[in-house]
């Protein structure tokens, strides 16, 4: 038993080694976007949930790319400040499914087709969500949820608060670079527990769970109903694994290795907002009834989008033909990963210095 536990830890560590550079560089890009791109007036332009505003919300979500749990807080802030519910949810979906670091992990563990599918599927996911909300929204329940959300405390995700609004002015402002370091480590603080859990679960699944489990859980074969059944089960697996957007990449690679269909894996990746911690956060913001309603909307959107993106990629001949073994990915070696991880160490060191300068300035301001 101890040997199996040790194998799972080593496998999880190997998977993290493979992805470390993507996380380090991805969060650097994310922090830079947050600091140098202003979105203070975003909510004022998202009030009616029109198609154009859904597109703008998605763009702002990409700009603010963050972990699932941080996106939930930012979504609450947008809704309570006047954005339409559909616009706020479009922002939320885009902030994770269009996140650079999430796409990088998908590329590393699954292949370029999955990264492309994340970007191609995000507009479909948002459109399906908007249609479902417009068709099913319980107005009285939503009104009560909004009232409760206005009383709940939320996290301010704008690391650029207090800086000039123009990009050119921010680039010349010394505080921007200090905020860059602060935002960078703020991103890590929000996701490190999710990341640790994700890689540990992936390592445990790879080392301890036999292939027969996935074959029993997901129906196999070439019949027409296999794809919709597998896709329907994807959100269920997401709930069971309790992993959000930044931790489900390695586990998705394990699903691919065991023959789970492309559309089902994409539905699993899209299901980061149906996990129990996300439902609990929404319940704290809006109450359990509205949180469950949102969870059902998220699951349905993930299922529909998974099927659509599978059919679309099949028609285009883009369905990947195989999967790399987890053992291969978890192996330590001197290759491109090693050199990119060295570069990421330099990036982290620079961000650390910038973050320390920001803390020193803050302490000096308080003292003054």
Condensed to tens digits (0 to 9), the pLDDT of residues 1-26 reads 777 777 788 877 887 887 787 778 77
The pTM of the full predicted model, rounded to 2 decimals, is 0.75
Is the Cβ–Cβ distance between 16 and 199 less than 8 Å? Answer: yes
Confidence bin at 134 (pLDDT 50/70/90): very high
User: Helix (H, G, I), strand (E, B), or coil: what is residue 264?
Assistant: helix
Confidence bin at 114 (pLDDT 50/70/90): very high
- Higher model confidence: residue 205 or residue 285? 285
CA–CA separation, 277 vs 147, rounded Å? 22
SS3 sequence, 182-230?
A: HHHHHHHHHHHHHHHHHHHHHHHHHHHCCHHHHHHHCCCCCCCCHHHHH
Condensed to tens digits (0 to 9), the pLDDT of residues 269-291 reads 999 888 887 888 788 889 999 99
Percentage of the residues of the chain whose pLDDT score is greater than 70: 82
Q: Residue 159 belongs to what H/E stretch?
A: none
Mean pLDDT lowest for which of 16-20, 195-199, 290-294, 315-319? 195-199
**C-alpha distance from residue 202 to each of 68, 95, 252 (Å):** 18, 23, 9
Geometric angle at alpha carbon 123, from 121 and 126, rounded to 5° = 105
User: What six digits make up the tokens of 347?
Assistant: 């990036």
Confidence bin at 152 (pLDDT 50/70/90): low
Is the Cβ–Cβ distance between 96 and 272 less than 8 Å? Answer: yes
User: What six digits make up the tokens of 306?
Assistant: 């998974």
Does pLDDT of 150 surpass 90?
no
Mean predicted confidence (pLDDT) in 41-55: 75
What pLDDT shows up at residue 70?
Answer: 65
76 conformational bin, left if phi > 0, alpha if psi -120 to 50, beta if neither: alpha
What pLDDT shows up at residue 133?
Answer: 94
């Amino acid at each position: 038993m101890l040997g199996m536990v040790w194998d799972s830890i080593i496998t999880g560590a190997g998977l993290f080694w493979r992805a470390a550079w993507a996380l380090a560089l991805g969060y650097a890009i994310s922090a830079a976007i947050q600091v140098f791109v202003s979105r203070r007036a975003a909510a004022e332009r998202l009030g009616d949930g029109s198609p154009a505003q859904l597109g703008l919300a998605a763009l702002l979500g990409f700009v603010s790319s963050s972990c699932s749990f941080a996106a939930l807080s930012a979504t609450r802030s947008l809704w309570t400040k006047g954005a339409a519910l559909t616009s706020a949810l479009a922002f939320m979906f885009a902030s994770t499914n269009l996140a650079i670091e999430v796409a990088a992990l998908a590329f590393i563990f699954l292949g370029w087709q999955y990264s492309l599918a994340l970007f191609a599927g995000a507009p479909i996911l948002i459109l399906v969500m908007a249609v479902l909300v417009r068709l099913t929204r319980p107005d009285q329940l939503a009104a009560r949820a909004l009232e409760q959300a206005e009383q709940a405390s939320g996290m301010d995700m704008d690391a650029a608060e207090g800086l000039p609004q123009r990009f050119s002015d921010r680039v010349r402002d010394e505080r921007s670079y200090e905020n860059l370091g602060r935002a960078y480590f703020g991103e890590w603080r929000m996701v490190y527990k999710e990341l640790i859990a994700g890689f540990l679960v992936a390592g445990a699944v790879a080392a301890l769970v036999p292939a027969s489990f996935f074959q029993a859980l997901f129906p196999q074969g070439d019949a027409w109903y296999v794809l919709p059944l597998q896709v329907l089960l994807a959100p269920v697996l997401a709930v069971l694994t309790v992993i959000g957007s930044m931790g489900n990449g390695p586990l998705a690679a394990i699903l691919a290795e065991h023959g789970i269909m492309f559309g089902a894996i994409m539905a699993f990746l899209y299901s980061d907002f149906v996990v129990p911690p996300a439902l609990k956060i929404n319940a704290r913001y809006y109450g359990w009834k509205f949180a469950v309603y949102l969870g059902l909307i998220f699951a349905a959107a993930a299922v529909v989008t998974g099927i659509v993106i599978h059919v679309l990629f099949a028609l285009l001949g883009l369905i990947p033909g195989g999967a790399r073994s987890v053992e291969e990915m978890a192996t330590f070696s001197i290759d491109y990963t090693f050199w990119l991880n060295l570069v990421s160490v330099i990036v982290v060191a620079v961000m650390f210095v910038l973050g320390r300068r920001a803390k020193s300035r803050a302490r000096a301001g308080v003292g003054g």
